[in-house]
Amino acid sequence: MTLPIETQRTLSDLSSRMHIPEVEILQQAVNEFAEKIRKKQRLMSFAGMLTEDEAEELLQTIRTNRLDKITEFDVGHK
């Protein structure tokens, strides 16, 4: 596998800064990407199960909870 030069530089820089082998960085990145895809696939398996109104309500709840968490984090660290 050949990586673009900019990716090689970034990988080398991360490896130097974090004192971690490049292979370990690549493994972690691939594993995290795979987990992100798995989560998205699990979520997409519910697509079509909800009415449009139910989906909008769920989305609004998620957004509200997300904002609440951000606010709690900001308040807790001031």
Q: Are 14 and 20 in contact (CB under 8 A)?
A: yes
Q: Are residues 7 and 30 in the same domain?
A: yes
| pLDDT for position 40 | 82
Nearest-angstrom CA–CA distance, 21 and 18: 9
Task: Look up the domain containing 28 and give its range.
Answer: 1-45
Q: Give 19's DSSP letter.
A: T
pLDDT digits (tens, 9 = 90+) for 9-59: 999 999 999 999 999 999 999 999 999 998 888 777 777 788 888 888 988
Q: Are 35 and 29 in contact (CB under 8 A)?
A: no
Instruction: Give the domain CATH number at 30.
Output: 1.10.1220
Higher-confidence position of 14 and 74 = 14
Residues in the chain: 78
Q: Are residues 41 and 17 in the same domain?
A: yes
No. of helices (H) and no. of strands (E), the chain:
3, 0
